[in-house]
């Protein structure tokens, strides 16, 4: 990829920092942003000088999730036919690659990954958060998955049950209420909560501490924990829930073509002004 429009990347002291740089859209994810992000993760993975990878975001919010505006053919795949109908098979294949597979690949990078999360992280933002190994949260962090509003049962990479526990995952999906930073810390989802203006400095300190250790030892430690989840059926569960999610698209279309899509659009428009 020759030009990067939405993702910044730098390496210093064995830490590769990837930055979501679309703050005017609350870092909403279109196809180009996801492709650039995957490219940067791969660059960091294969750079022997990088021992730790950090993902952060510019602006008030970490990410508003998927960009629902796909009108720009340069940045987004066109999943609708000229008559307005949905190309369902094309959508399934595209989402499997760009959401489930990208997130799974990031989860399995053999280097520690750290997320610095501020503001709101909504729906598709969880596809970026769940694959990360450690999270540092600003005190204004809120994570949520309100896609039941779209008559769909959750996002494409369903780490919810594993990360939150069954009942808290159901609560998030049923009510659309966010989880705030203090609760996320209490249940062990985030490593620590810091004031917003200290988020980046604290994340850098943590990354530098981990980057002092042997790269192979870190990779094996990560593999040990990930494989413990995998033998319990983690990836099989992700795949099966992805199919449940895909059925949800059919349900949304059947009840009027994403009947409350405008509510989510309005939510994301509001984020740009906050």
Average pLDDT on 206-218 reads: 98
**Of residues 115, 34, 99, the one with CA closest to residue 241:** 99
User: What is the DSSP-derived secondary structure letter of residue 149?
Assistant: G
Higher pLDDT, 66 or 224: 224
Beta-ladder partners of 20: 7, 57
pLDDT at position 144 over 70: yes
Q: How confident is the model at residue 48 (pLDDT cuts 50, 70, 90)?
A: very high
User: First and final CA of the chain: distance in angstroms?
Assistant: 32
Higher pLDDT, 203 or 274: 203
pLDDT at position 271 over 70: no
Distances (CA, A) of 52 to 81, 102, 165: 43, 19, 27
* Total count of residues recorded for the chain: 274
Structure tokens at 100: 């489930």
Kindly state the percentage of the chain with pLDDT values over 70.
82
Domains and CATH numbers, the chain: 7-272 (3.90.226.10)
**Of residues 213, 150, 149, 216, the one with CA closest to residue 177:** 149
Are the C-beta atoms of 241 and 166 separated by less than 8 Å?
A: no
Are the C-beta atoms of 123 and 133 separated by less than 8 Å?
A: no
Q: How confident is the model at residue 210 (pLDDT cuts 50, 70, 90)?
A: very high
The pLDDT value given to residue 270: 57
Are the C-beta atoms of 196 and 139 separated by less than 8 Å?
A: yes
Q: How confident is the model at residue 145 (pLDDT cuts 50, 70, 90)?
A: very high
The pLDDT value given to residue 26: 95
Per-residue pLDDT of 163-191, as tens digits, reads: 999 999 999 999 989 999 999 999 999 99
In the chain the beta strands, taken as DSSP E runs, fall at: 7-12, 15-20, 52-57, 113-117, 120-122, 134-138, 142-144, 179-180, 192-194
Higher pLDDT, 133 or 78: 133
Are the C-beta atoms of 49 and 12 separated by less than 8 Å?
A: no
Q: How confident is the model at residue 260 (pLDDT cuts 50, 70, 90)?
A: very low
d(CA 135, CA 187): 13
The pLDDT value given to residue 262: 47
d(CA 86, CA 101): 22
The pLDDT value given to residue 77: 57
Average pLDDT on 193-217 reads: 98
- Residues 19, 24, 30, 35: what is their CA dihedral angle, to the nearest 10 degrees? -20
Average pLDDT on 104-124 reads: 97
Per-residue pLDDT of 218-253, as tens digits, reads: 999 999 999 999 999 999 999 998 888 777 776 666
The pLDDT value given to residue 132: 98
């Amino acid at each position: 990829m020759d030009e990067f429009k939405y993702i910044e990347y730098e390496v210093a002291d064995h830490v590769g920092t990837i930055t979501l740089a679309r703050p005017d859209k609350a870092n909403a994810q279109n196809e180009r942003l996801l492709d650039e992000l995957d490219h940067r993760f791969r660059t960091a993975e294969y750079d022997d000088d990088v021992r730790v990878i950090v993902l952060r975001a510019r602006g008030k919010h970490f990410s508003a999730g998927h960009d629902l505006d796909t009108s720009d053919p340069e940045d987004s795949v066109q999943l609708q036919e000229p008559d307005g109908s949905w190309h369902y098979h094309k959508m399934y294949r595209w989402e499997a690659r760009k959401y489930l597979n990208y997130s799974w690949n990031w989860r399995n990078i053999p280097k520690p990954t750290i997320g610095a999360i501020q503001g709101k992280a909504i729906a598709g933002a969880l596809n970026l958060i769940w694959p990360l190994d450690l999270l540092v949260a600003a005190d204004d962090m809120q994570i949520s998955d309100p896609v039941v509003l779209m008559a769909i049962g959750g996002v494409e990479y369903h780490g919810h049950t594993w990360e939150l526990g069954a009942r808290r995952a159901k609560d998030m999906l049923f009510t659309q209420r966010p989880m705030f930073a203090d609760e996320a810390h209490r249940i062990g989802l985030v490593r620590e909560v810091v004031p917003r203006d200290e988020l980046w400095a604290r994340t850098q300190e943590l990354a530098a501490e981990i980057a002092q250790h042997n790269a192979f030892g870190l990779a094996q430690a990560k593999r040990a924990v990930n494989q413990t989840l995998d033998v319990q059926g983690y990836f099989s569960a992700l795949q099966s829930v992805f199919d449940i999610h895909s059925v949800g698209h059919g349900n949304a279309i059947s009840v009027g073509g994403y009947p409350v899509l405008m509510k989510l659009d309005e939510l994301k428009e509001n984020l740009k002004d906050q």
